[in-house]
């Protein structure tokens, strides 16, 4: 960082009066966050706090940062949108047990799975406070509330276990009364790249007072809380005389006394990179593991997304709107003749890349190239000869005379209004006249012509003409305008000359 950023707790306090119940655990959490953020060296304007609904979700209003108080359970979704759009921001989600694990359960799972680089603080008071005391998804079996007067019959979720199962890469637990430890965990969470999830055991003085008493009370907590430290044996107790040992038979941790049977060397070392151990720790309530339970480094969602953006740019270049619009078969309609020609530019699919690779490798695709070239040229380019026309009621004698005179092999037969009616060719005459006793002065063109011939418009591609000549064995093709008036004739010889000249 070029210039050192000096911020204090005060910089993060908004002008709004904090309105939680007196004695609420939320106050301590708010103060801890406000004290921790200045340590991070991140400019104030880069913090965003997003919350859902519930008591804890008022939190953003009390932070002088960017913030959204959103809707019930959905804070992780907004946070994901924010972080994806601007990965430079430090995005924090403030949520509660009902918000995160009941109505918003799905989003917690997927934020973890994607490893979105967010910091999620789950205030767990095991009760619905804002709606005045109903059981929550973390309430223990038997909890009596207004909505469960005979005791809860639902088994609770354990937030740490859910976070581990979802794939979060930083999972920790802390408690509202231990501000120093809580601050350190938040600091580590903020430094962590990837989804950081912190369960904060928080006391609701009104509806569930003392829910965490075993772990928060000054007298009890030393015996019941296990402070995890990476690489250190998992020892706890006022006299640090108890520890956790992996019990292979039971498949879990067991609590042992350090003394005669077990020495400190026997106590299992905390390895936050072990998912197995983390799951086992998540099952415990005696002792209650506090601190960083699990932490590994994995690619984050934003790295993946923006990495792809950079990668695709490197492959395809910066996106160009013009190219995007034209990335399909296109055709032209021009003003002068309203002539339409095909311009084959390829398909919008993966085959484009294949063709491109072929080109790079010098793989020949001569047919395609030729066809493409022919498809891009029209009969207009071929400059067809002006047609020699004849009326259907003219005598065949006259037709032969015209052919000889002009040295051509075909005449177009047109109606008085210049519509193309047929074609008469040398071949027709050979087929139908030669060898028969026919007086050419007595018969008309009409009787020998081919009616309604295939004719092509000027804008037809040369490829189409080649097709008819080769596949259909036509030697002459009439060319017509849009009113079906003949404007030219193309012979196979014309086509051959054109191909030799141009290709």
Partner 1 sequence: MTEQKHVPVKELEDVVIRFAGDSGDGMQLTGSQFTNTAAIVGNDISTFPDYPAEIRAPAGTLGGVSGFQVHLAEHDIWTPGDSPHVLVAMNPAALKVSLPDLEPGAIIIVNTDAFTPGNLKKAGYESNPLEDGSLNQFQVIPVPITTLNRNAVQDVEGLDKKSIDRSKNFFALGLIYWMFDRPLEPSIEWVKKKFGKRAPAVAEANIKALQAGYFYGETAEIFQTRFRIKPAKLPPGTYRKISGSEAAAIGLVTAARKANKPLFYGAYPITPASDILHNLAPLRNFDVITFQAEDEIAAMGATVGAAFAGAMAVTGTSGPGIALKSEAMNLAVMLELPLVVIDVQRGGPSTGLPTKVEQSDLLQIMFGRNGESPMPVLAASSPADCFDTVIEAYRLAVRAMAPVAVMMDGYLANSSEPWRIPDPDTIEPIVIEHPTEPNGPDGKFLPYKRDPVTLGRPWAIPGTPGLEHRVGGLEKSPEYGNVSYAPEHHQRMVNERAAKVARLADIIPEQEVFGPEEAELLVVGWGGTYGAIHAAVSQAQAKGQSVAQVHIRYLNPFPRNLGFILQNYDKILVPELNMGQLAMLLRDRYLVDVISLNKVQGRPFKVSEISAKIDELLAGE
The nearest distance, CB 475 to partner 1, in angstroms, is 7
The nearest distance, CB 375 to partner 1, in angstroms, is 6
User: Using the rule CB under 8 A, which residue among 141, 222, 333, 496 binds partner 1?
Assistant: 333
User: Using the rule CB under 8 A, which residue among 209, 297, 351, 470 binds partner 1?
Assistant: 351
* Beta-sheet pairing, 330-333 with 66-69: unpaired
User: And the tokens for 371?
Assistant: 């066809």
453 touching partner 1, by CB under 8 A: yes
Residues 115 and 301 sit within 8 Å (Cβ to Cβ): yes
User: And the tokens for 498?
Assistant: 């054109």
Locate tokens 């918003």: which residue? 104
Measured from the CB atom, the residue of 74 and 242 that comes closer to partner 1 is 74
List, in order, residues 6 or more apart from 162 with CB less than 8 Å away.
101, 105, 108, 109
The nearest distance, CB 366 to partner 1, in angstroms, is 12
- Applying CB under 8 A, the span of 65-73, 258-266, 276-284, 396-404 interacting with partner 1 comes to 65-73
Report which of 15, 94, 20 is spatially closest to residue 62, judged by C-alpha positions.
15
User: Under rule CB under 8 A, which residues in 359-388 are in contact with partner 1?
Assistant: 365, 368, 371-372, 375
CB hemisphere CA count around 221 (13 angstroms): 16
The nearest distance, CB 152 to partner 1, in angstroms, is 27
User: Using the rule CB under 8 A, which residue among 24, 37, 89, 198 binds partner 1?
Assistant: 89
User: Using the rule CB under 8 A, which residue among 29, 109, 163, 414 binds partner 1?
Assistant: 109
User: Under rule CB under 8 A, which residues in 293-312 are in contact with partner 1?
Assistant: 305, 308-309, 311-312
- Compute the distance between CA of residue 178 and CA of residue 298 in angstroms, rounded to an integer: 30
CB hemisphere CA count around 116 (13 angstroms): 28
Helix crossing, 105-114 with 159-166: angle to 10°?
Answer: 50
419 touching partner 1, by CB under 8 A: no
349 touching partner 1, by CB under 8 A: yes
User: Using the rule CB under 8 A, which residue among 31, 40, 84, 284 binds partner 1?
Assistant: 84
Adjacency order of strands within the sheet including 389-390: 389-390, 410-414, 420-425, 450-451
User: Under rule CB under 8 A, which residues in 202-221 are in contact with partner 1?
Assistant: none
DSSP 8-class letter at 454: -
User: Using the rule CB under 8 A, which residue among 464, 488, 494, 498 binds partner 1?
Assistant: 464
222 touching partner 1, by CB under 8 A: no
User: Using the rule CB under 8 A, which residue among 48, 164, 178, 185 binds partner 1?
Assistant: 48
Report which of 83, 51, 297 is spatially closest to residue 194, judged by C-alpha positions.
297
Residues in the interface with partner 1 (CB under 8 A) total 102
> What are residue 481's phi and psi, to 5 degrees?
-90, -170
User: Under rule CB under 8 A, which residues in 12-41 are in contact with partner 1?
Assistant: 14, 16
10 touching partner 1, by CB under 8 A: no
């Amino acid at each position: 960082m070029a210039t050192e950023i000096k911020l204090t707790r005060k910089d993060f306090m908004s002008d709004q009066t904090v309105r939680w119940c007196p004695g609420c655990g939320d106050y301590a959490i708010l103060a801890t966050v406000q004290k921790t953020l200045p340590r991070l060296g991140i400019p104030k304007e880069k913090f965003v706090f997003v919350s859902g609904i519930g008591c804890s979700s008022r939190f953003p209003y009390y932070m002088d940062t960017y913030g959204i108080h959103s809707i019930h359970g959905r804070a992780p979704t907004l946070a994901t949108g924010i972080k994806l759009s601007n990965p430079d921001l430090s995005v924090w989600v403030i949520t509660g047990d009902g918000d995160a694990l009941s109505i918003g359960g799905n989003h917690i799972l997927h934020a973890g799975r994607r490893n979105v680089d967010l910091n999620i603080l789950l205030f767990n008071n095991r009760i619905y406070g804002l709606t005045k005391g109903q059981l929550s998804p973390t309430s223990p079996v038997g909890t009596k509330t207004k909505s469960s007067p005979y005791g809860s019959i639902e088994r609770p979720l354990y937030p740490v276990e859910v976070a581990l199962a979802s794939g979060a890469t930083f999972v920790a637990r802390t408690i509202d009364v231990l501000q120093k430890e809580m601050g350190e965990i938040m600091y580590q969470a903020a430094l962590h790249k990837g989804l950081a999830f912190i369960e904060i055991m928080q006391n609701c003085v009104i509806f569930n007072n003392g829910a965490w008493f075993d772990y928060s009370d000054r007298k009890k907590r030393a015996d019941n809380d296990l402070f995890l430290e990476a690489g250190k044996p998992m020892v706890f107790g006022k006299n640090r005389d108890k520890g956790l040992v992996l019990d292979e038979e039971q498949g879990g941790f067991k609590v042992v006394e350090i003394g005669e049977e077990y020495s400190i060397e026997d106590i299992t070392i905390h390895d936050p990179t072990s998912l197995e151990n983390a799951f086992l720790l998540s099952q415990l309530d005696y002792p209650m593991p506090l601190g960083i339970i699990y932490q590994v480094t994995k690619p984050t969602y934003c790295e993946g997304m923006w990495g792809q953006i950079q990668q695709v740019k490197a492959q395809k270049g910066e996106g160009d709107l013009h190219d995007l619009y034209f990335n399909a078969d296109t055709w032209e309609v021009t003003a002068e003749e309203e002539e339409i020609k095909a311009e084959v530019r390829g398909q919008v699919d993966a085959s484009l890349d294949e063709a491109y690779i072929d080109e790079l490798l010098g793989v020949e695709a001569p047919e395609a190239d030729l066809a493409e070239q022919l498809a891009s040229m029209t009969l207009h380019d071929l400059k067809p000869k002006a047609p020699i026309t004849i009326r259907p009621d003219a005598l065949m004698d006259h037709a032969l005379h015209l052919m000889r005179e002009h040295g051509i092999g075909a005449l177009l037969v047109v109606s008085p209004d210049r519509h193309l009616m047929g074609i008469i060719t040398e071949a027709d005459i050979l087929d139908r006249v030669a060898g028969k006793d026919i007086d050419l002065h007595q018969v008309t063109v009409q009787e020998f012509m081919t009616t309604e011939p295939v004719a092509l418009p000027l804008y037809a591609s040369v490829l189409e003409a080649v097709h008819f000549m080769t596949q259909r064995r036509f030697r002459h093709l009439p060319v017509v305008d849009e009113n079906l008036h003949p404007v030219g004739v193309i012979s196979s010889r014309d086509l051959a000359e054109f191909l030799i000249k141009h290709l």
